Chains A and B, each alone.
Chain A
Amino acid sequence: SQQGEEDPQALSIQEGENATMNCSYKTSINNLQWYRQNSGRGLVHLILIRSNEREKHSGRLRVTLDTSKKSSSLLITASRAADTASYFCATAPYGQNFVFGPGTRLSVLP
């Protein structure tokens, strides 16, 4: 498996529901970031969580980090159709560059 790998690969929910995506990684990291990519566009940074942090919030987004399990989760609450996108976690092993996972494709149905 890759350094960072999202799960599930695809997720389909109804508008208003919560969406949860997970990211697992293999080696110790400096920080972990989540990005969003709308179809045909570049990636947009959502949130960065450092290795000494356990949870961060940004609007409707909540990110958790469990370094003992080498995993992170991204929760989007009260989802909207505009949240339809691919979501990537990027992990930065110490002394190395970011590695992006394959992404989770989220579809929010109206």
Chain B
Amino acid sequence: DAGVIQSPRHEVTEMGQEVTLRCKPISGHNSLFWYRQTMMRGLELLIYFNNNVPIDDSGMPEDRFSAKMPNASFSTLKIQPSEPRDSAVYFCASSLVQSTDTQYFGPGTRLTVL
């Protein structure tokens, strides 16, 4: 299996622009997670999907952030409009069944908002 795939790996954008991050989970995994990692705040869970349904989005910072999972093999995290404080590494992870199962992380997307 190819593992969790994220794209792009790096994104540099200007403040106010829309940013879309993409994730393909491991085939057969039912849970998908979006995390944000910064030096200041560490690794934060943004949103968790189970069977394509958002279960917990309490970590989504504000309305500028939205996430979708239209099918079992694809998810997006969108930031509109982006701000410099959104600069971080965004990870997607998937697990087999439950949120407490072993999570498999993608390589991350390093976002820089100028």
Q: Which of B43-102 contact A (CB under 8 A)?
A: 43, 45, 48, 56, 91, 93, 99-100, 102
User: B36 to nearest A CB, angstroms?
Assistant: 11
Q: How many pairs of A and B residues are in contact by the CB < 8 Å rule?
A: 45
User: A53 to nearest B CB, angstroms?
Assistant: 14
User: B8 to nearest A CB, angstroms?
Assistant: 15
Residue numbers of A with Cβ under 8 A of B are 30-31, 33, 35, 41-45, 48, 88, 90, 92, 97-103
Q: Can you name 23 A-B residue pairings with CB atoms under 8 Å?
A: A31-B100, A33-B102, A33-B103, A35-B105, A41-B108, A42-B4, A42-B106, A42-B107, A43-B93, A44-B105, A45-B102, A45-B103, A45-B104, A48-B102, A88-B43, A97-B33, A98-B45, A98-B100, A98-B103, A100-B42, A101-B42, A103-B42, A103-B43
Given contacts A43-B93, A44-B105, 14 further A-B contacts (CB under 8 A): A35-B105, A42-B93, A43-B43, A43-B103, A45-B104, A48-B102, A97-B45, A97-B56, A97-B99, A97-B100, A98-B45, A98-B100, A101-B42, A103-B42
A102, B42: Cβ atoms closer than 8 Å: yes
A-chain residues with CB within 8 Å of residue B104 when the two chains form the complex:
45
B100, A92: Cβ atoms closer than 8 Å: yes
> Chain B contact residues: over half helix, strand or loop, or mixed?
strand
By beta carbon, the residue of chain B nearest A91 is B100
User: A45 to nearest B CB, angstroms?
Assistant: 5
User: A38 to nearest B CB, angstroms?
Assistant: 11
Q: A92 is contacted by which of B42, B43, B99 (Cβ under 8 Å)?
A: B99
CA distance A30 to B42 in the complex (A): 22
User: A47 to nearest B CB, angstroms?
Assistant: 9
